[in-house]
Structure 1
Amino acid sequence: MKPYFRYFIMAGLCFSMHLSLAQKSKVERKIVQTIDKHNDQYIDLLKKSVSINSGTMNFDGVREVGKLYKQELDALGFETTLTSGQAFNRAGHLVAKHMGKKGPKILLIGHLDTVFEPENPFQEYKMLNDSIMNGPGVADMKGGDVIIIAAMRALKEAGVLDDMSITIVMTGDEEKSGSPLELSKKELVDAAEWADIALGFENADGNPKTIVVSRRGSLSWSLEVKGNAAHSSQIFTDKVGTGSIYETSRILNEFYTQLSGEHNLTFNPGFIIGGTQVKMDEDGGGGTAHGKTNVVSESTIVRGDIRAVSLEQLEKAQKVMQDIVSKNYPKTSAVLTFAENGYPPLGLTDGNNQLLKVYDQVSKDLGFGPVDPVNPRNAGAADISFTAGYVDMAVDGLGLSGADDHTVNETGNLNMVPVQAKRAAVLMYRLSRD
């Protein structure tokens, strides 16, 4: 644990409760007023950024969004850089730094890209009513990026930003990470090593009354099964055995039987191909299979992912899966491999719980009600997971409330832009006070 937090973990809640007795301070009132004053500008900024296609593989579009946000942060005194993603075949990231002299070092995390590439028909926003916007990336997560900017401006105009140490990393490949992952996430990990606290501005489960204190990690896996090709009339004989498809079905069924009851663990076979001949596509996202009904299958390939809430849970599940794979049907063999890199779990820590309590108190003091933790089962992998093991406190879900992420029905509630910005700015102000 970093030295600053040996004190903070124990004393932080008491400090927050002390502040709450007086409700909002003069500085906090100024923060609230500033956000309300400029809210129309933030909504315009959100509309402008949503109108720019920034599908992960549209490098020009991702960079254009990065330039838009860079201008805003430059004006607030941040030192900003749009990094190159050439080494990992992506657009690169926006990194903004502001070095103060007081309080903890805070990392804010967003991302510039969306899942909607230029060929997707979902390219423009529309207002469904006076507050609900339907648009590509409005909730995941351009709304969160705009909230970061709104909070920074509020802290600036309240006269407290100058003393604060803040690094902002908005990645350009959160939705489809570049490879190798250690290069793709280098700026993020470097910032996490520097920071004491990490705040993520994803939209969590879309409910503004919740926040993420724990996220499951994600790791891909591949299963390759071999059998003896022969005439189907000879299946189950000592010489031929069962074939690869039967062996694959046994393995997948045992995965389900032995592990599906494990709390917060999921494992999903995303696709399967099997037959006499199989061939994977170069990108690993599919393939082709050929065979006949009267021929025993020779090869089967399955690809999927596994999600766990802790490294311990992941390792335990991997051992069970490998044990299942090793107990083959007659005349078959199978190899299960896990990717070397994936999204690590953001485990639940005392520090994360402490940060939740401070945020909860901030929300109550601002009149927005209590905040509860999101069930990890409802929170997918996200960039904040790469701060695990580096920072002493981390929460995610400070972004814009919305629904139906990654679909043409994605929406964001514009009424929540000022609410989330106020919560985030006041939280950072309180954290900055020793």
Structure 2
Amino acid sequence: MQTPTATEQAILDRAADAPMLTQVEQWAKVNSGTGNLAGLKTVAGLLADAFAALPGTVRLVAPDPVESVDAAGTVRTTQRGDHLHLRVRPDAPVQLLLTGHMDTVFAADHPFQSLQWREPGVLNGPGTADMKGGIAVILAALKAIEASPLAPRVGYDVMINSDEETGSHASAALIAELARGKIAALTYEPALPDGTLAGARPGSGNFSVLIHGRSAHAGRNPEEGRNALVAAADLALRLNALKSLELKVNPAKIDGGGPNNVVPDQAILRVNMRPMTPAAMTAAEVALRGTIANIQRDHDVHCHLHGGFNRPPKPLDPAATRLFELVRDCGAALGLSIGWNATGGVCDGNNIAACGVPVVDTMGPRGGAIHSSDEFLITDSLAERARLSALTIARIAERGTV
């Protein structure tokens, strides 16, 4: 264990003193569900003002268009909010990427809108842990680095997107662009309540299968119809049977059907697939397309596949392992026991790792019950994780490598 130097200790003290709780309370009071464009605009403005305290250039980046299939089978374009991007010292010898997201899973009309203290040090509220707390940690750590003599050695891009909770379709290209040339990345999803980090992650893909059959009278001539709802149900069962240790499959919803006396001519199956490895992802897509072809043949229907794998698997390769070990060692220097486990969840860390950049993607504060009205933030962990990030960044800057 390497004891913090005097320079590092000054960085740690400054990081811990940042007004993170006040920031979290301010930001979490504004609803910023992924579809709430007005709320996202407000939060983006608050974040732009906060990150303007750092050197460099802050800008709001327009989202890429996102296509989705509605319940009627129509492909529509969905508007997302702007993303925040800060660039500091792009010519410095060490280049890092730090990412977070401003959106939450709670829509503007969701009943979970306010903050309350569950007990001293435990704040319940939408986005407190996932991940407005993480954004506050990013800012605190970087302000501490900027006040140190190490600042000229490290440059960084900070990206706070508006659509992580729905798969980052509107920000994936921006993430890939900013990951280019970075030696490491840190993403600020919350750590588990005990401080454990997420290690390896599966990939994830969301698919909509539009099934076109033929309508007919359910009593007079049903044999002339082609029941799209039955075909969708059969497809759901066949895809469900693809599950294995290497692949999770979740047929989630079927849209379609109509009056009882009409053979339904259209249905839409929604399905999520989570492969554990790149090879499993390739095999899953082949199996998905093959199963759809068999459904077309067996039910005499026409199918159209929409969607894809937007989060590639994130295995722990040697470079990623070195970064995790650095974070662990920095934790040890601070009296923290840092471990990591594989998880079934996905995040922007998947996208960054797919660019060949090692990433630790749970650098945010400790919290839990995310994506529910019981979401909570352990507020003492704001300073704890700001110190951990600041020391990690400082040591990467000192070494010039991970």
Same fold (TM over 0.5): yes
Q: Which residue number in structure 1 is paired with residue 275 of structure 2?
A: 308
Distance 1:104 1:214, change over 3 A: farther
Q: Which residue number in structure 2 is paired with residue 361 of structure 1?
A: 329
After TM superposition, the structure 1 = structure 2 runs for residues 15-414 of structure 1, keeping only pairs within 5 Å, are 20=1, 22-38=2-18, 41-85=19-63, 89-99=79-89, 102-176=92-166, 181=169, 184-203=171-190, 207-224=194-211, 226=213, 229=216, 231=218, 243-257=227-241, 259-263=242-246, 265-275=247-257, 289-292=258-261, 296-328=263-295, 332-335=300-303, 337-339=305-307, 342-372=310-340, 374-377=341-344, 379-380=345-346, 382-414=347-379
Distance 1:212 1:203, change over 3 A: farther
Q: Post-superposition shift, 1:148? A: 0.2
Counterpart amino acid of residue 271 in structure 2: G
Given that 2:330 and 2:388 are in contact with CA atoms closer than 8 Å, whether structure 1 keeps it comes out as: yes
* Deviations, residues 127-183 of structure 1 (Å, cap 9, x unaligned): 1111111111111110110010111122123332232111100112222468xx4x6
1:433 paired residue among 392, 398, 402: 398
Distance 1:250 1:73, change over 3 A: closer
**Which stretch has the larger CA shift, 304-313 or 332-341?**
332-341
SS at match of 1:327: helix
- For 2:39 and 2:218, locate their aligned partners in 1 and report how far apart those are by CA, in whole Å: 54
Q: What TM-score, normalized by structure 2, do the two folds share?
A: 0.86
Given that 1:309 and 1:376 are in contact with CA atoms closer than 8 Å, whether structure 2 keeps it comes out as: no
- For 2:231 and 2:214, locate their aligned partners in 1 and report how far apart those are by CA, in whole Å: 8
Distance 1:186 1:317, change over 3 A: closer
Q: Count residues with an aligned counterpart.
A: 386
Counterpart amino acid of residue 248 in structure 2: T
Q: Post-superposition shift, 1:86? A: 8.1
Q: Post-superposition shift, 1:336? A: 5.3
- For 1:291 and 1:36, locate their aligned partners in 2 and report how far apart those are by CA, in whole Å: 64
Flag structure 1 segments of 5+ consecutive residues without an equivalent. 1-19, 276-288
- For 2:49 and 2:204, locate their aligned partners in 1 and report how far apart those are by CA, in whole Å: 33
Counterpart amino acid of residue 291 in structure 1: N
- For 2:137 and 2:5, locate their aligned partners in 1 and report how far apart those are by CA, in whole Å: 21
Q: Post-superposition shift, 1:228? A: 6.8
Q: Post-superposition shift, 1:206? A: 5.2
- For 2:391 and 2:351, locate their aligned partners in 1 and report how far apart those are by CA, in whole Å: 25
Given that 2:334 and 2:388 are in contact with CA atoms closer than 8 Å, whether structure 1 keeps it comes out as: yes
**Which stretch has the larger CA shift, 51-60 or 120-129?**
51-60
- For 1:228 and 1:45, locate their aligned partners in 2 and report how far apart those are by CA, in whole Å: 57
CA RMSD of aligned residues (A): 2.8
Counterpart amino acid of residue 424 in structure 1: S
Q: Which residue number in structure 1 is paired with residue 73 of structure 2?
A: none
Distance 1:60 1:240, change over 3 A: closer
2:387 paired residue among 408, 417, 422: 422
Flag structure 2 segments of 5+ consecutive residues without an equivalent. 67-78
Given that 1:82 and 1:95 are in contact with CA atoms closer than 8 Å, whether structure 2 keeps it comes out as: yes
Q: What TM-score, normalized by structure 1, do the two folds share?
A: 0.80
- For 2:240 and 2:38, locate their aligned partners in 1 and report how far apart those are by CA, in whole Å: 43
Q: Post-superposition shift, 1:48? A: 0.9
Counterpart amino acid of residue 322 in structure 2: Q
SS at match of 1:321: helix
Counterpart amino acid of residue 364 in structure 1: A
- Give the structure with the higher percent strand: 2
Distance 1:205 1:240, change over 3 A: farther
Distance 1:332 1:104, change over 3 A: same
Q: Post-superposition shift, 1:290? A: 2.7
